[in-house]
């Protein structure tokens, strides 16, 4: 038999062509754009055949008579096309209305004209259950005009394209309406994210955040009908070659069971080893809100922006909620009759869901296609690290420079800057060093103006320069300058540099600011009142700034850094026996802040401290007071740099238990 197939390179079409070629003596002519000619060899290899049996016909779905040349039309007519299979279409909720109309509606009309031009024996049109719109109740195979609520572009184009086949085709026709098509039930193979796959990222995040035994809440919703691609292909192939009269008939290629949205999410949650959804909320409960009110709320900019941001973060199309209360069920009596005795049955979703999940996580997870290397993030970009001549800043600068960034460091000590540059050169890369005193407001202005003039500003700003003072308040009554000095550098200096560079970032509508804060802000660490207060002020400013610049393309990350072995903590001798992070480990946290751009990075211990202060503040105060009395001021804080720290056995034990926290 001679076949002509549109959409032969698509997910369903490629498999259908393979099934057709399995028939003895079959020759498949398939539509292909001229610019896709390079795909032919790969397609022939997949089908396991030659050009003699799989013949490319160059044209375009959007062209009259598919844009096929007059010569090719004549050849196809002479060959005697027994059947045309029309599968080419846009099956994507995210696609714009114009492209869907061009492909689905105009393309189908062109196929109908083509089938008539080559005197095809039969036209097999692959439609979709979307042609029914949002029909309330059971939609039978002999129903069409009864469809309702198909205003959505996807529903509308599928309905209208089927209407063209039914009313304009001069060639005998058959329509197939597959449900939501997922991957192969035996291999899990899929080519794109669509239908239930949109929820996979949400399920994955639940798995990352919660233990498998944690009871989760899901939406019950309407019924989603899901079928694997191998079932769809087997049905079309069998019915199209059935001895029964299938002219003018429609077949629902659906799962006879059908699952509610909550059931589907539960099945895939189990497949992903994510928390099981034990409690379901019926989404219909929200139906009491009038449609006009819902539309009015979505017209409000804050509501609309939050909704879009949440959906984007979860990887969900904005229209996905249309399907949550999907109201239609589908009768398949004609399909059952046509498949009787064939052995073709729709597999149970519970039996192959794990294959779909496994394939998605290995091949389709959007995170797999994001370059999460530091080189991919900062390569060729301008990065400024304040306080980059030593400690955490120097370690971070080495990472950025090694990753190919134009790495700028600044510091007060020219000798240290020169030494850092010499060290970088020995490793095969370079720093751009500027002497600058971040505690001096005038020098900050001079420095930022120089950066804008020489480099056009920066792409990444790492506010690392800081001063830490460990001294009890009762030892600071006559040392008010401790508070002034820490605030001057940690807060005012940091702000001065940031605000000097923000205009150039805003002009480019991109930029990322990383502020090195402290775990002490979360735990309210005693003896660090001056330091913590300055960092807390910076944290508060950052939260305000991140909201203001959210729509400008500028993002902020606050790192509540644990204790790090740097020259800054050297005067406090008791830290020599306290487990701390290395500067390189701290630099890794800064790198992750630039790659992933989270709002905040904090240790579990820091988060626990913050929660304790929020939920049980009195308990938190007693706990911190205990450590305060257990660990005295350092000798340096008391003015005696030669004295050795004297610790009780309890304090020594506490040292080993409390890693990475400011005592």
Residue with tokens 């306080």: 387
Alpha carbon of 217 to those of 62, 281, 606: distances in Å? 46, 7, 28
Rounded to 5 degrees, what angle do the CA atoms 55, 58, 60 make?
135
* Residues paired with 252 in a beta bridge: 177
Rounded to 5 degrees, what angle do the CA atoms 238, 240, 243 make?
80
531 belongs to the catalytic site: yes
CB 515 within 8 A of CB 559: yes
Tokens coding 160: 């209208």
Chain-centroid distance of CA 373 in Å reads 16
Between CA 167 and CA 123 the distance in angstroms is 13
CB 472 within 8 A of CB 525: no
Between CA 307 and CA 323 the distance in angstroms is 16
Tokens coding 346: 């729709």
Shortest CA distance to 249 belongs to which of 162, 330, 137?
162
**Dihedral (Cα; 75, 77, 79, 82), 10-degree rounding:** 150
Between CA 594 and CA 610 the distance in angstroms is 24
Helices (runs of H) and strands (runs of E) counted in the chain: 26, 22
Phi first, then psi, for residue 422 (nearest 5°) are: -65, -40
The DSSP line for 408-451 is EEEES-HHHHHHHHHHHHHTT---EEEE--TT-HHHHHHHHHHH
Considering 150, 198, 531, 575, which one is annotated as catalytic? 531
Shortest CA distance to 204 belongs to which of 137, 125, 136, 271?
271
The DSSP line for 335-391 is HHHHHTTT---PPPHHHHHHHHHHHIIIII-GGGGS--SHHHHHTT-EEEEETTTSH
CA dihedral over 492, 493, 498, 503, signed as positive or negative: positive
Shortest CA distance to 381 belongs to which of 366, 371, 369?
371
Rounded to 5 degrees, what angle do the CA atoms 378, 380, 386 make?
60
CB 589 within 8 A of CB 606: no
Query: Which ranges of 210-259 does DSSP label H, i.e. alpha helix?
Result: 229-240
Alpha carbon of 22 to those of 53, 176, 389, 449: distances in Å? 11, 21, 69, 71
Catalytic residue numbers, as ranges: 531
């Amino acid at each position: 038999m001679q076949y002509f197939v549109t959409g032969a390179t698509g997910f369903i079409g490629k498999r259908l062509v393979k099934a057709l070629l399995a028939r003895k003596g079959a020759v498949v002519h398939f539509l292909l754009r001229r610019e896709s000619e390079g795909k032919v060899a790969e397609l022939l290899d997949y089908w396991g055949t030659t050009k003699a049996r799989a013949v490319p016909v160059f044209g375009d779905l959007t062209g009259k008579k598919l844009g096929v040349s007059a010569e090719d039309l004549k050849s196809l007519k002479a060959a005697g096309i027994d059947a045309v299979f029309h599968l080419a279409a846009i099956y994507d909720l995210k696609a714009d209305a114009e492209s869907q109309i061009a492909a689905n509606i105009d393309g189908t009309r062109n196929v109908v004209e083509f089938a008539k031009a080559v005197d095809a024996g039969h036209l097999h049109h692959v439609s979709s259950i979307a042609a029914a719109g949002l029909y309330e109740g059971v939609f039978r195979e002999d129903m069409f005009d009864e469809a309702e609520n198909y205003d959505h572009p996807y529903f509308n184009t599928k309905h209208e394209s089927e209407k063209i086949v039914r009313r304009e085709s001069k060639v005998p026709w058959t329509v197939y309406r597959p449900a939501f098509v997922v991957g192969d039930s035996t291999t899990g193979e899929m080519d794109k994210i669509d239908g239930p796959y949109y929820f996979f990222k949400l399920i994955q995040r639940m798995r990352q955040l919660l233990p498998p035994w944690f009871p989760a809440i899901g939406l019950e919703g309407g019924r989603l009908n899901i079928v694997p691609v191998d079932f769809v292909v087997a049905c079309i192939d069998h019915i199209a070659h059935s001895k029964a009269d299938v002219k003018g008939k429609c077949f629902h290629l659906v799962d006879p069971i059908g699952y509610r949205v909550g059931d589907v999410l539960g099945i895939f949650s189990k497949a992903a080893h994510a928390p099981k959804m034990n409690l379901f909320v019926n989404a219909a409960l929200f139906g009491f809100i009038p449609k006009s009110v819902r539309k009015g709320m979505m017209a409000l900019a804050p509501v609309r922006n939050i909704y879009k941001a949440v959906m984007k973060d979860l990887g969900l199309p904005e229209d996905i909620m249309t399907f949550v209360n999907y109201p239609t069920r589908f009768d398949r009596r004609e399909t059952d009759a046509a498949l009787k005795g064939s052995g073709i049955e729709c597999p149970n979703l519970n039996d192959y869901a794990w294959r779909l999940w496994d394939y998605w996580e290995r091949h389709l997870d959007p995170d797999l296609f994001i370059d999460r290397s530091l080189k991919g993030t900062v390569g060729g970009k301008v990065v400024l690290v304040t306080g980059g001549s030593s400690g955490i800043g120097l370690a971070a600068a080495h990472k950025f420079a090694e990753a190919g960034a134009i790495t700028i460091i600044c510091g007060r000590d020219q000798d240290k800057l020169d030494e850092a540059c010499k060290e970088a050169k020995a490793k095969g890369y370079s720093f751009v060093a500027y002497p600058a005193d971040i505690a001096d407001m005038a020098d900050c202005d001079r420095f930022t103006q120089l950066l804008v003039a020489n480099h056009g500003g920066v792409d990444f700003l790492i506010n690392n320069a800081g001063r830490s003072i460990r001294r009890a308040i009762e030892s600071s009554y006559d040392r008010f300058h401790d508070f002034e000095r820490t605030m001057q550098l940690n807060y005012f200096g940091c702000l001065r540099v940031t605000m000097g560079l923000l205009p150039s970032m805003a002009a480019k509508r991109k930029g990322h600011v990383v502020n090195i804060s402290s775990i002490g802000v979360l735990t309210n660490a005693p003896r660090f009142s001056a330091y913590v207060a300055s960092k807390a002020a910076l944290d508060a400013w950052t939260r305000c700034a991140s909201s203001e610049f959210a729509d400008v393309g500028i993002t902020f990350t606050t790192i509540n850094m644990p204790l790090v072995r740097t020259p800054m903590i050297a005067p406090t001798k008791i830290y020599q026996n306290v487990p701390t992070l290395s500067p390189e480990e701290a630099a890794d946290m800064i790198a992750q802040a630039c790659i992933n751009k989270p709002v905040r990075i904090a240790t579990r211990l820091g988060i626990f401290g913050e929660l304790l202060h929020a939920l049980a503040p009195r308990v938190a105060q007693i706990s911190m007071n205990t450590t305060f009395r257990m660990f005295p001021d350092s000798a340096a804080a008391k003015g005696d740099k030669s004295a050795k720290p004297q610790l009780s056995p309890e304090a020594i034990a506490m040292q080993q238990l409390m890693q990475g926290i400011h005592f």
